[in-house]
Amino acid sequence: MLFRPVQERDLSDIIDLAARAGIGLTSLPYNVSYLKTKINNSIASFSGNLPRSQQRFLFVLEDLLIKRVVGVSAIEAAVGLDEPFYNFRIQRIVRASRQLNVYKNIELLTLNYDQTGHSELCTLFLDPRYQKNRNGLLLSKARFLFIAAHPHIFSSHIFAEMRGIIDNQGRSPFWDALGYHFFDIPFAEADKLTGIGMKTFIAELMPLYPIYVSLLPILAQQAIGKVHPHTVPARSILEKEGFSWNGTIDIFDAGPVLEAETNMIRTIRDSQIVTVNKIYNILNSINIPCISIVSNDRFKDFSAILLKTEDNKSMIKLNDIQRKYLRVNENDKIRVITLYP
């Protein structure tokens, strides 16, 4: 399995992945024209031809045995600089009456732009048939090695919007209770429009005043801050990296927005740089079999793989095929992060 930047030839595979992803994964819509533009934008970003506000880096996970892309993930360098980036933040206030002896904690949803200028992790999707053998970890975590290699591109704060609660018919209880009354379109349509970049309607129709959570139906309240069942593993990966939920949610499906300080993300903080012929120096210090992600430190030709270490760690080294796909020689620098069992 090889983690690498997207290429033009990956389009048909990515279209297939978008069809599998379904409703709610806003940044991977089933729209051929948009996906082609997304790929071209990423290629331009890796070529250094775009301003930071337009840099969007799309990566793929390729099964080298069958030469097929089976997963995608992405990073946006900075959101909200060219157009507003909206979220709801949960605000808590206290109201009390001595006369009635009533003390109430009240939650409000307020529209905010707090993530403006921050980097975003997005577009994470892995073919369900490949959700094994730590492929999901490679697809998600390898992005952090890219950030660690090129920190000047990204902000000091990173976030990720998690897909919220949506039923099998593509309906969101939060959207039906709130958004639908302002936009008058189904959740699937709003998600589709946002996914292909048509976001002007949000600014035109979004409620500008705080929303009292207690006035929403119970199913909508219960959806706030919850993730789609298929998104639980992705949330777990990020939380183990040091991400946390601080009360910000997606304006459509109320999925949580996880946040972290970039230099405190485990993979970024703990990754080590070593020459290819010295990788065993790192792995020999580990007393149990484990899995490591190994990457080069290149920009346009960035790539990463999983490396399994057995009990006989003194023999660990990159073989010819692994060096080929990492585009490194014996004396080149590589970056390593260990994933413990």
**pLDDT over threshold 70, residue 288:** no
Active site positions, annotated: 228
Q: Which domains does the chain have, with CATH numbers?
A: 2-86+113-266 (3.40.630.30), 271-339 (2.40.40.20)
Looking at residue 172, what DSSP letter applies? -
Nearest Cα to Cα of residue 182 among 252, 118, 123: 252
284, pLDDT greater than 60: no
Phi and psi, residue 295, nearest 5°: -135, 160
**CA–CA separation, 219 vs 217, rounded Å?**
6
How high is the pLDDT of residue 119? 97
The predicted structure's pLDDT at residue 135: 94
Reply yes or no on whether the pLDDT at 278 is more than 90: no
168-189 tens-digit pLDDT: 888 899 999 998 888 888 888 8
pLDDT per residue over 121-168, tens digit each?
Answer: 999 999 999 999 999 999 999 999 999 999 999 999 999 999 999 988
Mean of pLDDT values over 221-248: 94
Hey, is 225 helix, strand or coil? coil
Whole-model pTM: value is 0.90
CA angle, 324 then 330 then 334, to 5° = 75
Nearest to 116 by CA among 70, 77, 73: 77
